[in-house]
Amino acid sequence: MEDNLFGQDWEIEPAGGETGKAFVAVHEDEKFFLKRNSSPFLAALSVENIVPKLIWTRRVENGDVITAQKWIDNGRTLTASEMREPRVARMIGKIHRSEALRDMLQRIEKKDYACMNLLTKVLEDKSLPDQKEDLVLHAKNYLLANVEQLKEGRHVVCHGDLNHNNWLVSEQDELYLVDWDGAMLADPANDLGVLLYQYIPYSEWRSWLEEYGQELTIELYMRVKWFSVCQVLMAMNWQLEHGRKPELARLELILKKILEDDEVYGTLCE
């Protein structure tokens, strides 16, 4: 993004990130977070105080739509251990239960992913078996073997990537969830699964989910495990396509953990 899109009195620098669509801008001693062609869904999230306040939206000469959000001074991302905090669970619960957000996303994006759509997407991708054949085959067989028994939950607004780096804390300890480009309507287990396996010890699943607003049942556990396998396989495909071997190796370990998990199930069956 060039400074002259807004005028010479703007100072604009890349904000980092993988898409190259985010920028930091300073204008008349005010600082903003700018993003190119962000989802219109951002406005609804701003109203709900889920993302930093949306200041304005502007279409520039080349046709791009630029959004400007309040810059969070001295903000930081959550650590992995902080994902266990009740406020994280409560924020996700608020998002998943919001009918206003659900209706808005349905009108804007029309991204609705049933389990069979996700399964088809995973099975059609042929890039991973050449790299991790035994593990990926095991994962795909698990998905096929359990999809018919899956009692899919009502579709809600899902963020799609609840990595701890997508959580922002302000100097005043306000919590925000950012990077909504992958938002979709789906079973809430799409969001819950990888988060639980990646950040929450098995012994804390029940109490964490109570803060979220859901009882841990065998039915929920089966959905969490199934959608986790789906999400990790898709993430592995993406990392492979972008040549990110360290991240691919990390996801492989998470996938093994999910497939080998019987501790939660055993506890529920007691």
Q: Give pLDDT tens digits for 138-184.
A: 999 999 999 999 999 999 999 999 999 999 999 999 999 999 988 99
- Model confidence at 131, pLDDT cuts 50, 70, 90, reads low
Distance CA 153, CA 86 (A): 23
CA dihedral 94, 100, 104, 110 (to 10 degrees): 70
- Check residue 4 and give its pLDDT: 47
Selecting among 3, 9, 73, 161, the annotated active-site residue is: 161
Dump pLDDT digits (tens) for 191-247: 999 999 999 999 999 999 999 999 999 999 999 999 999 999 999 988 888 888 888
pTM of the model: 0.87
In 171-192, which positions are buried (b, 16+ CB within 10 angstroms) versus exposed (e)? eeeebbbbbbeebbbbbbbbbb
Three-state secondary structure call for residue 4: helix
- Check residue 61 and give its pLDDT: 77
Q: Which fold has domain 76-269?
A: Aminoglycoside 3'-phosphotransferase; Chain: A, domain 2 (3.90.1200)
Active site annotation includes 29: no
- Check residue 17 and give its pLDDT: 58
Q: Tokens at residue 158, please?
A: 């899902």
Domain ranges of the chain: 3-70, 76-269
